[in-house]
Amino acid sequence: MSKSVLESDLDAFERVEKERALEIRLTARTMRRKELRERSRRNLKQSWPLAAGLVLACLAPSLLDLADLFAPWGTWILLPAVSLVDLKQLLLSSEVRTIARQFALYGQFPIEAVIIKSGLKGRVSLGAVVAQLALAHILAAVFLWLLSRSVTS
């Protein structure tokens, strides 16, 4: 009888240990899932500028049409890279100018997105990074204005 009591106690102990091991595995799996979700959320937070840059790149031809309504300042401020490629002083052939214009049109916003993403890695707020980018656009517009004045003078 004592042998059967020992066997039943041993069986009960093994059952409890199996249940504990199962609980530990489930808890570990739940914790891993939480960590993966958190990491995914963090990556999404960090890569939203790239997504926005790609969306703006897709909308770039429409943005160029909109900027052309306020020419030349609209183009100078919104798409300074396109305006820079269009300068006659660069002495580009028509084929090179066309290719460079397309590259500037579709590449400007993803490049700026990378700049924003790298700027946000430090302890800088989004507003400060966007202000720096806006200042760069304004300085580019002033540069293009000065170039246009030197050509007409």
**Helix (H) / strand (E) containing 12:** helix 2-58
Over the chain (153 residues), the average pLDDT of each successive run of 10 is: 71 86 88 90 82 94 93 90 87 91 94 87 83 91 86 62
Q: Kindly report the number of other CB atoms within 10 A of residue 105's CB atom.
A: 18
User: How far is 136 from 127, CA to CA, in rounded Å?
Assistant: 14
Domain total in the chain: 1
Q: Can you give the pLDDT at residue 7?
A: 77
Q: Can you give the pLDDT at residue 115?
A: 87
Q: What six digits make up the tokens of 11?
A: 């069986």
The contacts of residue 130 (CB under 8 Å, 6+ apart) are 116
Q: Can you give the pLDDT at residue 151?
A: 64
Q: Residue 2 to residues 5, 6, 135: CA-CA distances in angstroms?
A: 5, 6, 87
Q: What six digits make up the tokens of 27?
A: 């808890």
* Structural domain of 59: 2-152
Q: Can you give the pLDDT at residue 108?
A: 94
Q: Can you give the pLDDT at residue 152?
A: 64
Q: Can you give the pLDDT at residue 97?
A: 93
